[in-house]
């Protein structure tokens, strides 16, 4: 009797595990947050946290969008003060690497001119995401950048 109870208990536990796994696969919760239905991708964000309605407000205007983004690729866009833009970089078949980039003209709307050019590179190498940038200053303006694995922030402080 004890052995039958143990077998029944083991079978019940297996049934619970299988049912949870199958429901997780159906609702997609087993997927990595960076995998989409289109394939393996990694999400990246560009944040413009400059302050609107000040002489230090900035607008990022995309001028070049490289290949390497997931389909559909991002379109030409602007990122205004206190806005952000999300990108999905396509990864190779193993999900270990991929790279893409975007170039922005950094515009001060108050003075109505570009103050610099920002090149943002987003990539994954050996499974580790990184975001790097290169900024070319056209004229002096208080601007700072912070990067993390999957983001860059543009600040005017």
- DSSP assignment of the chain: -HHHHHHHHHHHHHHHHHHHHHHHHHHTTTS-TTEETTEEEEEEEEEE-PPTTSTT--EEEEEEE-S-BPSSPPPS-EE-TTEEEEEEEE--TTSS-EEEEEEEEEEETTTTEEEEEEEEEEEEETTEEEEEEEEEESS----EEEEETTEEEEE--
One digit per residue, the tens of pLDDT, for the chain of length 157 reads: 555 655 555 445 544 454 554 444 344 433 334 444 345 999 999 999 998 777 889 999 999 999 999 999 999 999 999 999 999 999 998 889 999 999 999 999 988 999 999 999 999 999 999 999 999 999 888 899 999 999 999 998 7
pTM: 0.73
């Amino acid at each position: 009797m004890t052995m039958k109870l143990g077998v029944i208990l083991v079978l019940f536990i297996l049934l619970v595990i299988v049912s949870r796994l199958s429901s997780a696969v159906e609702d997609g919760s087993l997927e990595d947050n960076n995998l989409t239905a289109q394939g393996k991708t990694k999400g990246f964000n560009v944040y413009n946290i400059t302050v609107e309605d000040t002489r230090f407000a900035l607008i990022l205007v995309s001028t070049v969008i490289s290949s390497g983004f997931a389909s559909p690729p991002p379109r030409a866009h602007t990122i205004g003060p206190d806005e952000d833009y999300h990108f999905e970089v396509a990864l190779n078949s193993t999900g270990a690497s991929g790279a893409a980039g975007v170039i922005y003209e950094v515009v001060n709307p108050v003075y109505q001119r570009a103050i610099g050019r920002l090149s943002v590179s987003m990539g994954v190498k050996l499974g580790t995401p990184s975001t790097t940038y290169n900024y070319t200053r056209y004229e002096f303006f208080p601007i700072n950048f912070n990067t993390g694995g999957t983001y860059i922030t543009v600040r005017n402080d």
